[in-house]
Amino acid sequence: MFGLSRRTLSVAALIMGMGIANLQAQTTQTYTIVSLLDYSGPFANRGKPVEQMQRLLVDWFNETRGAQAGIKLDFKPIDTGYDQAKTVQAYERALEDKSLIGIVTFGSPNVIALQNRLAQDKIPAVHGGPSYSLMKPGNWVFTPLGDYARYFAAATKWRLSTWTESRPLKIAFVTFDGSSGRDWAQAFQTRIKGMNAEVVLTEFVSPRALDVSANVAHITAAAPDLVFLATTDQLQPALLKELKASKFDMSRIVNSQHEGLSLLDLLGVPKDAYEGTYEVTSQNYADQGTDAYKIYQSRQSKYTTRWSADTLLHYSSMMVLLDAIERAQAKVGKARINGTEVFAEMRAGSFNGYGLLGKIQFDIDSDPTQGADSVVMLQQKGGKITRVSDSIPLAK
């Protein structure tokens, strides 16, 4: 046609195809997400499974919604050893990458180290754990899980709903000796003011402790009606086994979702050691029909992770960041976005938990501890995890 040979037309088609491919490559914006993790500190055994869960979600995003939105995310995990000084060093190195658009954090040392820096550097962070009372209004850290003190207070109210005695409900609050544990204990004391309940023991256990018999002796001597255990992967099994051996009434124990019932099972803790105990959790992990589980199930064979409390603490934080990046990109089309625009989406929007969490609503200007809106009570019963409450709204 028009005197052109078949070879010429083929070359022209090839050049056109290369041009379209180059155009598509040019319109894909590449950004970096940094994950601050613990591979060498008190939560080192969580580091790799959490990293793998985060990587699973980023890779899923890149191959699905990211590809449609013209976004490619580079995921960079960094060890901070659950240490403030190492967090600062890691953060300084991360800032050298000008494509950095968001950070996911792991524990209170990360939050303490960064909360006063992020606004200055225009980098938002989403925390993969509970919020803390030490968090300041207006900071750039978002916490989908919200405040654990609210969780413990909700569980206390739930227990009080069947409490028939006139005297106050006696509570033992047992946690690990660290900034997170001390913050939870202090905030919980504030949250239960006005309830017919009193804390008769606050027990801080060294995260490196190998013998918890003395701690358990303190608990049994206090004769509590309710015990909150919010410790670590190493301490939780040890405390439960020792309490069981002491013939303590295990139905008085409430596990934190940090060390939830599903995690105890995966850690190989004998089920009879925690039979009857409860868990207060915002995570609907027992339901395998949720969108969150379907995403995980579709890709789990490629990653060394687990569907359990410890990794799921970080599921919603990563999904909130991915959603905010996608929303920010949609507003500017094919142009590049920055941390400020991602921050604006997180600050202004509400997020769904893909069935794993309920509605997530942030209010960092006045209450940065706000996140998930409800919890449920689970119980280890007959060797299985059973739900024993309706959704319990969390106090604002």
pLDDT confidence bin for 26, thresholds 50/70/90: low
Q: Give the residues across from 50 on adjacent strands.
A: none
Average pLDDT over residues 83-100: 97
Q: What angle do CA 244, 246, 251 make, to 5 degrees?
A: 45
CA distance 71 to 37: 24
Residue 344: both structure tokens together: 């604006």
DSSP secondary structure code for residue 135 in this structure: P
What is the end-to-end Cα distance of the chain in Å, rounded? 73
* Model confidence at 10: pLDDT above 80: no
pLDDT in tens, 286-331: 889 999 999 999 999 999 999 988 899 999 999 999 999 999 999 9
Of 350 and 196, the structure prediction assigns the larger pLDDT to 196
Question: Which CATH number among 3.20.20.30, 3.40.50.2300, 3.40.50.1100, 3.30.360.10 corresponds to the domain 25-146+287-365?
Answer: 3.40.50.2300
Instruction: Please give the pLDDT value at position 24.
Output: 45
Distance of alpha carbon 330 from alpha carbon 11, whole angstroms:
36
Indicate whether 57 pLDDT > 50: yes
Does residue 23 register a pLDDT over 50? no
How many CB atoms within 10 Å of residue 19? 10
Domain 148-281+376-393: give its CATH superfamily.
Response regulator (3.40.50.2300)
SS3 51: helix
pLDDT category, 1, cuts 50, 70, 90? Answer: very low
**What does the pLDDT read at residue 21?**
45
Percent of the chain whose predicted confidence (pLDDT) is above 70: 93
Residues of each domain in the chain carrying CATH 3.40.50.2300: 25-146+287-365, 148-281+376-393
Say whether pLDDT at 22 is over 50: no
| Range from 29-33, 212-216, 281-285 carrying the lowest mean pLDDT | 281-285
Q: For residue 20, what pLDDT band results from cuts at 50, 70 and 90?
A: very low
* pLDDT at res. 93: 96
Q: What is the pTM of this model?
A: 0.84
Q: Which of 279, 286, 215, 223 is nearest to 253 (CA)?
A: 279
The pLDDT score that the predictor gives to residue 267 is 86
